[in-house]
Amino acid sequence: MDARTAILLVEASENSANMYYATQFFAPDAFIYLETADERVVVIGNLEFERARATAKVDRVLPLVQYWKMAQEKYSKMPGTEEVVDILLREFGIDKVIVPPDFNIKFADGIRGYDYQVEVKLEPFFERRQTKNEDEIGKIVDTVKHTELAIETGIDMVRSAKIIADGTLELDGKPLTSEMIRRTMHGILAEADCFATHTVVSSGGQTALPHEEGTGVLHENQPIIIDCSPRSRKNGYYADITRTVLRGTAPISLRRQYEAVLAAQQHGIEMLKPGVNGKDIHAAVAQFLSDKGFKTHVVEGKPQGFFHATGHSIGVEAHERPRLALRDEFIEIGNVVTIEPGLYYMGVGGIRIEDDIHVTDDGPVSLSTIDKTLEL
């Protein structure tokens, strides 16, 4: 990036992963981020100014009111964001700004109207987001720790449940439901200042739909998928872990399905090396499951078998790049990716196992350590 070009973001960091990544500062209202060849600055209102000065990971925090007044004086009107940005860019000697693909069109047109070049850069907007540094790994590990506690508590609820005469599960004299486990998990996460949405606690036939969140009473001898991907409110980083368990005895077909998924996951993990194409890992995992006799096809308009991506990176978003799917995306040292193969069949149910893996110089290292046992 040359001296007259800058990266420009105008967004609330609570809604924008790129803005949070750039500043490491949570704010509910939009503010300005400018990254030049020499420094990174935030321009923000009085309400958040002192907090930003104390916590934002940038070189300088500048008062929005100062630039607002300068814009009002220059244009003799109530200035908008475009006018404030114009004053800022002139001060920094910037002719061209690089913005992300979701940048506000009105702001972009307004900036162009003041004779600046606006270049849209597709994702990954910050390539450096893909490789995590030591600090980021520590944040992910912290979120993983809380996620594992929540999932282990959910599994313990299943393990502790009593099987009553009709085959349903009962805990402390009450029917054990997907909703009960999910509420308990979310409570544990909230105590750790983490939050999760769309947590999966599905059972029986529901597990044949990968992201069915799950409802109702749980039954013996049926698969239960528990998939949780919370974000830490303290550090802004995600974890994403899945386990499949069963209270009782697994049917032979389901046991074979579980063993195949577990082996396929290990196969995928072993392939995680710098320079390897995620597309090739995905193809190898799919072929591995096919060779084990698990066909991927469509029945009555519904996909069966292994029909989703093998994995994705995690960070300040739950799904980042590189992804392990159908496109060419290459593995690098510092990536943290999930490996999450699954098999889903109507009449049998679904199995998915997912772990968060750090790609290091010494090979892949699992950040998640929950035991992988089907039958409880």
pLDDT of residue 360: 97
* pLDDT tens-digit series, residues 32-71: 999 999 999 999 999 999 999 999 999 999 999 999 999 9
Domain boundaries, position 225: 131-366
* Claim to verify: residue 214 and residue 265 sit in the same structural domain: yes
Backbone Cα Rg of the chain:
24
CB 319 within 8 A of CB 294: no
- Give the C-alpha separation, 174 to 282, whole Å: 42
- Which stretches within the chain are classed as H helix? 17-23, 46-55, 64-75, 81-92, 105-113, 134-160, 178-191, 252-270, 278-291
Where a domain ends, among 125, 160, 181? 125
CATH classification of the domain holding 224: 3.90.230.10
Tell me the two tokens of residue 165. Answer: 């005469």
Q: Point out the residues of the chain with pLDDT beneath 50.
A: none
Q: Does residue 352 form part of some domain?
A: yes
* Claim to verify: residue 80 and residue 187 sit in the same structural domain: no
CB 70 within 8 A of CB 99: no
* Claim to verify: residue 153 and residue 115 sit in the same structural domain: no
